[in-house]
Structure 1
Amino acid sequence: MMADKRGTLYVVATPIGNLGDLSPRAQEILQDVDLIAAEDTRHSAGLLRHFGITTAMISLHEYNERQQAELLITRCQEGLSVALISDAGTPLISDPGYRVVRQARQVGISVVPVPGPCALVAALSVAGLPSDRFVFEGFLPAKSGARQNRLEQLADETRTLIFYEAPHRLSQTLQAMVEAFGQDREAVVARELTKRYETVHGDSLSALLTWAKQAPEAGRGELVLLVHGAKKKQDAPRQEALKVLLPLVAALPLKQAVALATEITGFKKNHLYQLALELRATQED
């Protein structure tokens, strides 16, 4: 038996496809808690049945979360332990649960993560795109105008972009990305991760659009879209400072050139001095 878990809210990750990805710890907690709050009890019933878990469930979805949050908080305050799960993956990541977790923390209930599968992390780990910096955008707006507007706002984002998308909108979204990011931007479509027909397909946005239109399977199943970040643009203030410094450093002593450049540009003196040193070193080479 596990240690006492009374009055605790567990946020439990469940498989995104392969049932073997439910951790032994997650199985134990789901078996031992007093109540499981599931996004869709009918969907989760199959998962629990597979592992022989008989814990009672209640539904917690986007339409009833406000009401159910109060109930769950009350149950935890009464000393019961509750597990929060979504249909697949880690709860709260484009899934319900935020209000429950926030309210639980606000009233001092212990909230414990039980980590596991997450589609965006799984996709990023195999996409071959830069993973040191990334931004998760979730689902784009369903309406074309709002979707295009959001993508245009992200056009200069240098971090890897990660989106979830509905299968039937794959082609429309790729077309919108071509228009917002350019046809040559590298991207990856990851679909049906951990499942039988898992596919991770990378190419330029224009090539991916062609593939999506021609391959019937492209728009089936759960999708993660990953897009390479934009190339970093030259730092405009730096270019302006260099433009002013270049003739001054060539004609004047370093300190005098920096002092004049500071007056002209209004930039910080230390920053300009460092740039002037770089210029002087280049001229001496």
Structure 2
Amino acid sequence: MINKGELFLIPNTIGNDIIDNNIPNNIKFIIEKLDYFIVENQKAARKFIKLVSPNKNQEKLVFFTLNKHTSLFDADTFLKKCLEGESTGLISDAGCPSIADPGSNIVAKAHQLKIKIRPLVGPSSIILSLMASGMNGQNFAFNGYLPIDKAQKIKKIKFFEKKAIKENQSQIFIETPYRNDTLVKDLIKTLSSTTKLCLATDLSLDTEEIVSDSVGNWRNKNLININKRPTIFIIDKG
């Protein structure tokens, strides 16, 4: 019987290409021994591999492209090498695979196939922002993107505020960067003045800004410019 390979969940940087500041050394050793990778974007994955392991020969590497359209049939194909004894790495475009990113279906399929899962330590913008927010880290929820439609978005903001208050639960969400400024204005206008709001922007970069305050105080601030800058939004009861 062939011993199965393992599925390594490999964190990527979250905007900072200075590997030593973001990626643990053991990831370099793991990447150097792998030839098969499941990735969101091959070009981005090759760049990351080059940063982590500059001398690795990439000509022999095999990439399987993962996105929201990936089916269970694709997952079977992507994990075939693990069943044949070759370990495979799963890399997201930024941060940790399967967390607010594609990949959970691959991991679920690997469990079904009794393939050992090896999650590796690395940066997560969701966790970093919550750590730095001063908000409830015992009970929290990540809610992804808010609706684009303004009326639906306002409705959702009110829903999450009520949930934060009723359940004492920090509510975390994200937005497409070019819509950040609009979302901030909607949050400040819609939320109660006592509700807490944190903006965590450009995490891990030299331009990193993390500001957490009551909405009432936010209304009296000169708002920081977060347009087109990756940002995590968190609200919590005051």
Deviations 1:104-142 (A, max 9, x none): 101211111112110011111112223222221122223
Q: Distance in 2 between matches of 1:35 and 1:139?
A: 31
Who wins on radius of gyration, i.e. which is larger?
1
**Does the CA contact (< 8 Å) of 2:180 and 2:228 recur in 1?**
no
**Does the CA contact (< 8 Å) of 2:203 and 2:209 recur in 1?**
yes
Q: 1:91 deviation in Å?
A: 0.7
Equivalent position of 2:154 in the other structure: 148
Q: Distance in 1 between matches of 2:99 and 2:146?
A: 14
Q: Distance in 2 between matches of 1:44 and 1:210?
A: 43
Equivalent position of 2:132 in the other structure: 126
Q: Which structure has more helix as a fraction of its residues?
A: 1
Q: How does 1:78-227 map to 2 (within 5 A)?
A: 78-157=84-163, 158-178=168-188, 180-205=190-215, 208=218, 215=224, 217-227=225-235
Q: Distance in 2 between matches of 1:195 and 1:6?
A: 39
What SS does the corresponding residue of 1:136 show, helix, strand or coil?
strand
**Does the CA contact (< 8 Å) of 1:171 and 1:209 recur in 2?**
no
What SS does the corresponding residue of 2:179 show, helix, strand or coil?
helix
What SS does the corresponding residue of 2:143 show, helix, strand or coil?
strand
What SS does the corresponding residue of 1:162 show, helix, strand or coil?
strand
Q: Distance in 2 between matches of 1:113 and 1:66?
A: 21
**Does the CA contact (< 8 Å) of 1:155 and 1:180 recur in 2?**
no
* Amino acid in structure 1 at the alignment position of 2:150: S
TM-score (norm 1): 0.71
Q: Distance in 1 between matches of 2:96 and 2:123?
A: 6
Q: 1:209 to 1:39 in 2, by over 3 A?
A: farther
What SS does the corresponding residue of 1:221 show, helix, strand or coil?
coil
| Runs (5+) with no aligned partner, structure 1 | 232-285
Deviations 1:33-52 (A, max 9, x none): 23111111111222211232
Q: 1:65 to 1:209 in 2, by over 3 A?
A: farther
Residue identity over aligned pairs, in percent, reads 22
* Amino acid in structure 1 at the alignment position of 2:210: V
**Does the CA contact (< 8 Å) of 1:65 and 1:96 recur in 2?**
no
TM-score (norm 2): 0.83
Deviations 1:69-114 (A, max 9, x none): 1211222112221100101110111110011111110121111111
* Amino acid in structure 2 at the alignment position of 1:78: E
* Amino acid in structure 2 at the alignment position of 1:32: K
